[in-house]
Every structure is written in structure tokens, then in C-alpha cells.
Amino acid sequence: MGSPLPGAVGISKLSVYDTTAPDGLVGGTPHLHLTCSEGYVVIAGAGHVQTLATSGYAETPLRPGTVAWFPPGTIHRLVNEGGLQIVVIMQNSGLPEAGDAVMTFPPGVLADAGAYQAAATLPGDDVTAAYRRRDLAVTGFLALRGGGPEALAEFHAAAARLVAPKLPEWRKRWADGALQAAADTGRQLDALERGDHSHLAAGGIEVRPAPSEHGRHGMCGLLDTYHV
């Protein structure tokens, strides 16, 4: 097994959904992450990202060359104004692929782990189910935007309850990935301070010439993912 990407981040190419949600906008599924920051590098098309956090609601334009990022706790929804494609960079070895994401379903769904799982899970690569999931989350997101700080705090609490059973698995992925990468840097600094540069002999390059997975239906669009 080779070395991970710098900092043990995850990376994928995203073609944002081009179908219309219940509010008339085209795009993806609003959701948040609980332990991962996320970054966008826009490579084609146009659109914007809607974000909702305790600091308020915002809309940020996305154009080729834009780099945008946000911390855990930021509800985000990509809106596609035409051909929007993004390289997505995820903290913690792509931990969202292991479940660090909660969609903004209505409160009745969020309150029941079984109901949430049923609404969130796609049966195979079912595009109709992916859009139905998106539309349900958009409905909840619109209510959250109008519900004020109390509604957002209740959503945060519900999200934390939903992911609680997954935390041991997440901790292992973090320990084996991002924490290990930071610890390796510490050991290299210690070695250099001792005059030991032997780790430089392990230099080289690794390449993934193509994605490991093409066109999977994700929350925001079609994903080409790299298993790194």
C-alpha cells in the first residue's frame, strides 16, 4: 500500500446535479459534516454554494478558479447554474465517505434513526432515489433557514445523535490517517533536529492516472472518486 495524499485528505471530482429541486433551483443535497472541513476547487461551469451556520445564511459565487472551504457544522448546498464541476478536498482521509454527513431532512425523519437511514440510503445507483433524497433534504433546509437559531441548534443536536454509533470507526480512520500524517511530520522534525535526514531516502512519486470510481450518485452530484 502506498502513501496517502498530503495530510491524508480525500479527493474526488464532482459534477453537480443538473435537475430542479422543489424550490426551483438546480443542484445538490444540503447537508453538514460533524468532524471534517471541506474545500472546493472550481474547475468548470458556474453556480454558487448556499451555507447556513450559527453566523447566518450566505450565498457564495463559484466560478472556475474559485477556491472555497468551510469547517464542520456548516450546512452547505451546491446550486448549479450551468456545467458546475468541482474538485472536492475532504479532511480526515475522506471521512465523509464513512458517514460523516447528515442531510437536512425534516425533524420527524431526523428524530428516528431507522427513518433517517431509509431516507438517506440509495438502493443501488438509483437516480430517481437520489433526487428524491435531495428534494426531501431541500424541504428541510428551507424550513431551517426560516426557523432561526433554535431550529439550527436542534438540527445540530439531532445530527450528533444520529452519528454517535459511528464514532469508534471514525476515530480509527482519523488515527490511521490524519493523526498518523501529523505524527510522521513530528518525527521527521525530531530527526532533522538530531541531524538525521535518512527519511529523505524514501522519496519518490505516486500517481493515480484515473479515478477509482466513476459517476457514483453522491449527495451533490455525480462523483469520480480516488481511493488514496
Give ∠ CA 52-64-216 in degrees, rounded to 5: 70
What are the pLDDT digits (tens) for 26-58? Answer: 999 999 999 999 999 999 999 999 999 999 999
Mean pLDDT to the nearest integer, 119-123: 93
What the block records as the C-alpha cell of 190 is 525530531
Provide the pLDDT for residue 48.
Answer: 98
Closest CA to 224 of 9, 1, 11, 39: 11
Neighbouring residues of 87: CB distance < 8 A, sequence distance ≥ 6:
11, 12, 13, 14, 40, 41, 43
Residue pair 96/163 in contact (Cβ under 8 Å)? The answer is: no
**Rounded to whole angstroms, how far apart are CA atoms 111 and 105?**
10
Task: Tell whether the model's pLDDT for residue 202 goes beyond 50.
Answer: yes
Work out the burial of residue 155: count CB atoms within 10 Å of its CB; fewer than 13 is exposed, 13-18 middle, 19 or more buried: buried
Share above pLDDT 70 across residues of the chain, in percent, rounded to a whole number: 99
Cell 466560478 belongs to residue: 63
Provide the pLDDT for residue 27.
Answer: 98
What the block records as the C-alpha cell of 105 is 431532512
* DSSP, res 119: H
Q: Say if pTM beats, i.e. exceeds, 0.75.
A: yes
Average of per-residue pLDDT values in the chain: 94
Min mean pLDDT across 2-11, 51-60, 154-163, 193-202 is at 2-11
pLDDT-derived band at 95 (thresholds 50, 70, 90) equals confident
- Position with higher pLDDT, 8 vs 82: 82
* DSSP, res 115: H
- Position with higher pLDDT, 199 vs 98: 199
Provide the pLDDT for residue 1.
Answer: 46
First CA to last CA distance, the chain: 10
What the block records as the C-alpha cell of 47 is 453556480
Closest CA to 76 of 149, 27, 128, 147: 27
pLDDT-derived band at 2 (thresholds 50, 70, 90) equals low
Provide the pLDDT for residue 168.
Answer: 95
Number of H helices and E strands in the chain, helices first, is: 6, 9
What are the pLDDT digits (tens) for 68-85? Answer: 999 999 999 999 999 999
Q: What is the enclosing helix (H) or strand (E) of 168?
A: helix 167-176
Provide the pLDDT for residue 214.
Answer: 86
